[in-house]
Chain A
Amino acid sequence: MASTACFMIVSRNDIPIYEAEVGTALKKEDAAHQHQFILHAALDIVQDLAWTTSAMFLKAIDRFNDLVVSVYVTAGHTRLMLLHDSRNDDGIKSFFQEVHELYIKILLNPLYLPGSRITSSHFDTKVRALARKYL
């Protein structure tokens, strides 16, 4: 089954630092921008919700037609956002947790400036592999 999924990491200063289309569905021309738009629009909701709960994983906080936004907020307020059309909650949660670990490894790299773009190709490959595994 073809699925749509768009993954994005937004830094605490609301700057996107990593983006990846991880779905298997054929790409439409305008889809990428639309996905970005939906995710950015969800940021306000994340901001409100993040302080009401101690959980890091915020499930299905926003929807757009059949697409759902799930978010994972790290302790440093970096937001891992996923736009998806599957209903596989456990998979999404595991995906977030493992990407979080990868993100921590990136942060520990002394040559990475926190809040700057993640350009590591290793990270990119790993994220895509995780997406195939869990989503």
Chain B
Amino acid sequence: MAPVAPRSGDAIFASVERVNAELFTLTYGAIVRQLLTDLEEVEEVNKQLDQMGYNIGIRLIDEFLAKSNVSRCVDFKETAEVIAKVGFKMFLGVTASVTNWDADGMSCSLILEDNPLVDFVELPDTCQGLYYCNILSGVIRGALEMVSMKTEVTWVRDMLRGDDAFELQVKLLKQVSEEYPYKDDEYSEV
């Protein structure tokens, strides 16, 4: 029987290298600020953040799998649990809870009570449409795509907009089956 996947990221969190939380928060803030100046449109900034997150995610999944010792997840429910409990803990130092499963287990909500990205932040009137943490949704989308799950990640609740928590809806669009990029016999002569 395969080893049981770790149910919490505490052990890994204790062993990975960390940076000062304020440095991290302010660096992210500086990125968002710069994007707002460069792109001018809030919508564009949201898109760009998502794209940046995606690029992080497709790399981050490798580090995650290498260091966390999680085994293959049997279903999407387990995947969501691992992201919430191990993934978030490992890279952000917080854990999320998974709720709001729909009937066929294809979409759920990750709820973050605590989010280190938004310390100090208050949305001014000029950027009301901004999803400040949009990078996170990109990261999840990118990471899951690398393990052959096409997902759609959207923000449902955002504390910066006056809600009581951060809620990310993760929707599994389709499971891409793994296939070799070549046929067996193509390379048989080499």
Contacts and interface: CB of A to CB of B under 8 A. Distances in A.
B33 interface: yes
B52 interface: no
A55 interface: no
B122 A122 contact: yes
Interface stretch (A37-45, A73-81, A82-90, A108-116): A108-116
Nearest to B132: A111
B126 to A, nearest CB: 8
B123 A111 contact: yes
Contacts of B33: 110-111
A41 B12 CA distance: 60
B16 to A, nearest CB: 25
Interface string B57-99: 0000000000000000000000000000000000000000000
A111 B120 CA distance: 10
Interface string A107-128: 0111110000001101000000
B131 to A, nearest CB: 13
Contact of A119 (B32, B36, B120, B124): B124
A106 B122 CA distance: 8
B121 interface: yes
Contacts of B127: 111
A120 B126 CA distance: 12
Contacts, number: 33
Contacts of A120: 122, 124
A103 to B, nearest CB: 12
Interface string A94-110: 00000000000110111
A111 B26 contact: no
B184 interface: no
B123 A110 contact: no
A18 to B, nearest CB: 14
Interface string B6-39: 0000000000000000000010111011001000
Contacts of B123: 111
Nearest to B127: A111
A110 B124 contact: no
Contacts of B30: 110
Interface centre among A108, A109, A110, A122 (most CB of B within 10 A): A110
B2 to A, nearest CB: 44
B125 A110 contact: no
A124 to B, nearest CB: 12
A108 B122 contact: no
Contacts of A109: 29, 120-122
Contacts of A119: 124-125
Given A110-B32, A111-B36, A105 B120 contact: yes
9 contacts: A109-B121, A109-B122, A110-B26, A110-B29, A110-B120, A111-B122, A111-B124, A111-B127, A119-B124
Interface of A: 105-106, 108-112, 119-120, 122
5 shortest A-B CB distances, which residue pairs?
Answer: A110-B29, A108-B120, A110-B33, A109-B120, A109-B122
